[in-house]
Amino acid sequence: MSDSLITIALPSLIHRIGRTSMSTARELALQYECELKRVRRSRHWQLVGEFAQIELFKQALIDSDVIVYQFMLSKITTALVNVEPPLTLEQQLAQLILNNPTITIAELVSLTHCSEAEARVARFNNETL
């Protein structure tokens, strides 16, 4: 299962951080499989990516320790607080088994797109609890 994309609005970004910092931030975002792009032809920008990649990008901005990125960090932090992190495959399987203890291995595989072995391990772990 692929994570859903998260879009974070960054209004007037280039005016706040400057063109050179902007190009550096775009390159950094691409390294973490995020996209920092302009909203149509306006002065506003947006960051688009999956939850985990945006978290990694945020950590890279923190590690760069450049004061210019504080605006971006505050926007990213507030947006990620409002977004619930996606469940891992193991958590999804455990939740399905807890909700329906009679669920079959085939149903687990079809619902989560996991392998049969992963579904069997999840079933075994649930039965031993």
Long-range contacts of 59-65, Cβ-Cβ distance < 8 Å, separation of 24 or more:
60/28, 60/31, 60/32, 61/25, 61/28, 64/28
Query: Tell me: the pLDDT tens digits for 85-127?
Result: 777 888 888 888 888 888 888 998 888 888 899 888 988 888 8
| pLDDT reported for residue 49 | 93
pLDDT at 32: 93
Q: Is residue 76 within 8 Å of 58, Cβ to Cβ?
A: yes
pTM: predicted TM-score of the whole model, two decimal places: 0.67
- Give the pLDDT confidence score for residue 7 in this predicted structure: 92
